[in-house]
């Protein structure tokens, strides 16, 4: 009997979390081996390691406690990877040498698999004087471009691209350029952007007052606060970025505001962190803790929840000691404060199981009650750890109890902390759980609503055939097992039907008992008015949220997986969610149209000739094959290999424009060359540029650095429903916005790493 609730869960485990040898031979023979590996690794720091190993295993068993992906994949493997998910890097000095020192630190962190955040507000604005060199500053955005290029060249541990967050204060002189930076589709593609919004700014917005843009005490411009706010809102409305972080609220609510100031977050926003701050993540699977689901006595078992939280806190505290860190400064910061980020997943499923409609006032109250119980259990467990192992080194009882969320904590918890101290300065956070939610049986992600009741996906089998399987939400599957084909009750809602302000209500309810922050996407309908859209952000501010991220599908951001609803409320109504993948290579016609391009690399004796042939499908041309030739025999092997690999990719169909991006990102350590007024980092990047120009010329992509202009499809696809973009990892049309990141539901690929 398998422990997995669905085939997709086992596939995710095999692809993402199963420990394998370098040649792909499995070391973890079963998911039980994975749980045992993690439990044994995290119990090694305990005096009675055998006893704690068994307790840790019991918490992991049946997916009740879900350590974040880096822990699940890395613990006990002996690999030089960090088990921490989140890093905010050091404060960027306003000097050339300091800026590039920070770039080096970022590369080292991303190389080990960490997502990073940076505040670029510390760099002087464009046009400011640079003392001693008779020049004007190029501004923070120019250096963000350098970071973006660096990120393209770093492949994080486990084949995950690094994820980056860039923040900028709402009073920085370059804030307007920052707000609109990603309206250029070719720019800053490796970054998520968020504006640090202060309380005085929000008051100025409400009063329609003037707002000074300043740096280092000098006012560069004065604008109307409401106009600047509308610029932020318009960019987010059109391009889904930048996000908004209410930075003063974050610092006011920080348990450590007596020793640190926060100016940035990790890539998905759930971890506001100080310079060199690091945090690890894990989630309680709420869907596994409901007894008598859908029954008259359905409830979340409070004792099981408390016991599970206590074990999870201990496991996470042990990670601080077990993990490697890319930088010594990060290790010191983690040891000094012992931050952890315990959150939840499967919340929406748990609400459904107890008969509550996600987004309703009753569901918000229940969410607040559950999160309160988790916070109490986590803090008391950390007090017990302090009795046994000592408080975190920077603990000061009176200052700690007078700061942040501790002021609202229950009296008995405060008394316990005053008497015994506390092991972990901050304990709760709600992180993105897209992949681990699939691994745990397709439970609802984080505190998000159920995205779709069910959808179809096509799976490649070992013999080369393809089968179609249904992926069903965990709560819906439990309903089916209990009631068969009975119609779903009216309280079953999903992300397609939920009003934006219902999202805000749930985020605000959860935030009351989360001492860090929450990664959540507020889905907005495409036809939402701009004024109604702005109300979502104002409601988030007024109800106590620490930030706000929305997603409105449109021609620029792309459509998200389409789900249609039927009046009988049956799971099978979600027919629009079928995933289509052009699995079989397209047949080669007898004749193809194409172009040949000559590429002369400086200092090379012989030119390279590239021929790109196209196929015409439904009246659209798309690249089908590439031939690369040169008289230089030093190039022979790699040009043949590149010819075969690129052609194989092109013949699979879908959005193959990523090939250009990958080639253009290759840097030659021996140096690149200037060509046509541009610096090209390698000969491979030059080849990528030629292929890109060809794609533009045939109308396959709109312009340099941009994706598909149209979505040409083969006749064999048979796709009628609207859909999003193809996943760059697995090719399936399952990309959707989850907790602030475009994420593939089929393979777990995420823009945020």
pLDDT tens for each residue of 421-441: 999 999 999 998 888 999 999
The answer to whether 532 and 397 have CB atoms below 8 angstroms apart is no
Token duo for residue 661: 């991006």
Most confident range, picked from 5-19, 92-106, 192-206, 577-591: 192-206
Token duo for residue 629: 């030739």
Higher pLDDT, 365 or 553: 365
Determine the average pLDDT of the residues in 739-743. Answer: 69
3-state secondary structure of 67: strand
pLDDT at 730 over 70: no
Q: Which CATH architecture has domain 7-82+268-420?
A: Alpha-Beta Barrel (3.20)
To the nearest whole percent, how much of the chain has pLDDT over 90? 60
Higher pLDDT, 24 or 408: 408
- At 272-290, the pLDDT tens digits run 999 999 989 999 999 999 9
Give the model's confidence band at 463: pLDDT under 50 very low, under 70 low, under 90 confident, else very high: low
pLDDT at 7 over 80: yes
pLDDT at 742 over 70: yes
Token duo for residue 49: 């390691």
pLDDT value of residue 668 = 72
pLDDT value of residue 647 = 86
pLDDT value of residue 662 = 83
pTM of the model: 0.79
pLDDT at 592 over 90: no
pLDDT value of residue 99 = 93
pLDDT at 638 over 90: no
- At 100-114, the pLDDT tens digits run 999 999 988 887 767
3-class SS string, 162-228: CCEEEEEECCCCCHHHHHHHHHCCCCCCCEEEEEEECHHHHHHHHHCCEEEEEECCEEEEEEEHHHH
pLDDT at 53 over 50: yes
Q: What is the mean pLDDT of the chain?
A: 86
Determine the average pLDDT of the residues in 125-149. Answer: 86
Check 270, 448, 578, 739 and give the catalytic one: 270
Higher pLDDT, 729 or 573: 729
The β-bridge partners of 324 are 82
pLDDT value of residue 469 = 79
Check 85, 251, 255, 266 and give the catalytic one: 266
Q: Report the range of poorest mean pLDDT among 15-19, 114-118, 244-248, 594-598.
A: 114-118
Q: What is the DSSP letter of 53?
A: H
Higher pLDDT, 309 or 605: 309
Name the residue among 716, 592, 728 with its Cα closest to residue 657: 728
Token duo for residue 375: 């916070």
Contacts of 470 (CB under 8 A, 6+ apart): 454, 455, 456
pLDDT value of residue 494 = 86
Furthest-apart CA pair in the chain: how many Å?
A: 82
Determine the average pLDDT of the residues in 574-589. Answer: 45
- In 10 A of CB 568, how many CB atoms? 10
Torsion on CA atoms 610, 616, 621, 624, rounded to nearest 10: -30
Determine the average pLDDT of the residues in 404-417. Answer: 96
Plot region of 158 (φ>0 → left; ψ -120 to 50 → alpha; else → beta): left
Higher pLDDT, 225 or 631: 225
- Residue 578 designated active-site: no
Give the model's confidence band at 585: pLDDT under 50 very low, under 70 low, under 90 confident, else very high: low
Higher pLDDT, 271 or 670: 271
pLDDT value of residue 713 = 34
Q: Report the range of poorest mean pLDDT among 341-350, 604-613, 629-638.
A: 629-638
Check 86, 151, 268, 741 and give the catalytic one: 268
Give the model's confidence band at 466: pLDDT under 50 very low, under 70 low, under 90 confident, else very high: low
Higher pLDDT, 733 or 453: 453
Q: Where are the domains of the chain?
A: 7-82+268-420, 91-252, 449-503+511-582, 593-697
Determine the average pLDDT of the residues in 199-208. Answer: 98
Which residue has tokens 């409601």?
A: 539
Q: In terms of DSSP H, where are the helices of 89-180?
A: 96-111, 140-153, 175-180
In order of 92, 167, 171, 220, 228, the CA distances from 217 in angstroms are 18, 20, 11, 10, 20
- Residue 605 designated active-site: no
pLDDT value of residue 586 = 62
pLDDT value of residue 18 = 95
Determine the average pLDDT of the residues in 374-395. Answer: 98
Determine the average pLDDT of the residues in 72-84. Answer: 90
Q: Report the range of poorest mean pLDDT among 318-327, 437-446, 698-707.
A: 698-707
pLDDT value of residue 141 = 95
CA gap 52, 585 in Å, rounded: 51
Higher pLDDT, 267 or 392: 392
Higher pLDDT, 720 or 484: 484
- Residue 268 designated active-site: yes
């Amino acid at each position: 009997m398998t422990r997995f609730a669905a085939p997709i869960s086992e596939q995710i485990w095999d692809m993402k979390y199963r420990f394998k040898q370098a040649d792909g031979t499995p070391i973890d023979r079963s998911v039980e081996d994975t749980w045992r590996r993690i439990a044994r690794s995290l119990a090694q720091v305990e005096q009675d390691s055998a006893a704690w190993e068994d307790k840790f295993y019991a918490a992991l068993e049946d997916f009740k406690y879900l350590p974040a992906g880096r822990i699940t994949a890395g613990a006990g493997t002996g690999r030089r990877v960090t088990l921490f998910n989140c890093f905010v890097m050091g404060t960027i000095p306003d000097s050339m040498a300091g800026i590039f020192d920070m770039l080096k630190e970022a590369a080292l962190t991303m190389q080990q698999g960490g997502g990073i955040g940076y505040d670029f507000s510390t760099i002087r604005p464009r046009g400011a004087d640079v003392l001693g060199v008779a020049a004007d500053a190029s501004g923070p955005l120019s250096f963000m471009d350098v970071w973006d290029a660096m990120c393209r060249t770093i492949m994080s541990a486990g084949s995950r691209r690094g994820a980056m967050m860039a923040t900028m204060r709402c009073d920085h002189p370059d804030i307007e350029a920052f707000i609109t930076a990603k309206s250029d589709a070719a720019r800053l593609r490796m970054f998520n952007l968020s504006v640090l919004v202060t309380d005085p700014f929000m008051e100025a917005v409400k009063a329609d007052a003037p707002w000074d843009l300043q740096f280092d005490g000098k006012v560069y411009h004065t604008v109307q606060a409401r106009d600047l706010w509308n610029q932020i809102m318009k960019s987010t409305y059109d391009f889904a970025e930048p996000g908004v972080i209410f930075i003063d609220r974050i610092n006011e609510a920080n348990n450590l505001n007596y020793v640190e100031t926060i100016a940035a977050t990790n890539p998905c926003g759930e971890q506001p962190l100080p310079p060199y701050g690091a945090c690890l993540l894990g989630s309680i699977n709420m869907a596994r803790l409901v007894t008598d689901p859908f029954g008259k006595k359905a409830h979340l078992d409070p004792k099981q929840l408390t016991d599970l939280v206590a074990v999870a806190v201990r496991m996470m505290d042990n990670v601080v000691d077990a993990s490697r860190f890319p930088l010594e400064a990060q290790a010191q910061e983690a040891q000094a404060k012992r931050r952890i980020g315990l959150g939840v997943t499967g919340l929406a499923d748990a609400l459904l199981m107890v008969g509550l409609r996600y987004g309703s006032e009753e569901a918000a109250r229940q969410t607040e009650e559950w999160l309160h119980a988790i916070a109490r259990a986590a803090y008391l467990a950390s007090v017990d750890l302090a009795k046994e192992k000592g408080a975190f080194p920077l603990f000061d009882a009176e200052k700690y109890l007078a700061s942040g969320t501790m002021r609202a904590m229950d009296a008995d918890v405060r008394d316990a902390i005053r008497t015994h101290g506390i092991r972990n300065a901050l304990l709760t956070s709600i992180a993105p759980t897209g992949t681990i939610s699939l691994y745990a049986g397709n439970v609802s992600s984080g505190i998000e609503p159920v995205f779709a009741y069910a959808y179809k996906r096509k799976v490649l089998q070992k013999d080369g055939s393809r089968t179609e399987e249904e992926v069903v939400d965990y709560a819906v599957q439990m309903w089916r097992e209990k009631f068969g084909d009975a119609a779903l009750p009216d309280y079953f809602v999903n992300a397609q039907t939920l009003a934006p302000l219902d999202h805000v209500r749930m985020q605000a309810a959860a935030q009351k008992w989360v001492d860090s922050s929450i990664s959540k996407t507020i889905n907005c309908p495409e036809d939402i008015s701009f004024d109604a859209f702005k109300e979502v952000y104002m409601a988030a501010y007024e109800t106590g949220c620490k930030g706000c991220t929305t997603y409105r599908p449109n021609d620029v951001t792309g459509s998200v997986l389409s789900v249609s609803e039927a009046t009988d409320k049956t799971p099978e109504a979600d027919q629009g969610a079928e995933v289509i993948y052009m699995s079989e290579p397209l047949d080669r016609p007898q004749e193809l149209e194409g172009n040949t391009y000559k590429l002369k690399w400086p200092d090379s004796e012989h030119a390279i000739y590239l021929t790109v042939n196209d196929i015409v499908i439904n009246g659209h041309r798309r690249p089908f094959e590439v031939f690369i030739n040169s008289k230089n025999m030093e190039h022979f092997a790699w040009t043949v290999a590149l010819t075969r690999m690129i052609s194989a990719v092109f013949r699979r169909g879908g959005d193959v424009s990523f090939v250009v991006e990958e080639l253009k990102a290759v840097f030659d350590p021996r140096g690149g060359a200037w060509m046509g007024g541009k610096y090209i980092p390698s000969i491979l990047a030059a080849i990528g540029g030629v292929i890109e120009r060809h794609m533009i010329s045939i109308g396959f992509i709109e312009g340099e650095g941009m994706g598909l202009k149209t979505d040409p499809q083969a006749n064999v696809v048979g796709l009628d429903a609207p859909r999003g973009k193809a996943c760059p990892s697995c090719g399936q049309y399952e990309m959707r916005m989850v907790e602030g990141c475009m994420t593939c539901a089929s393979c777990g690929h995420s823009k945020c790493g």
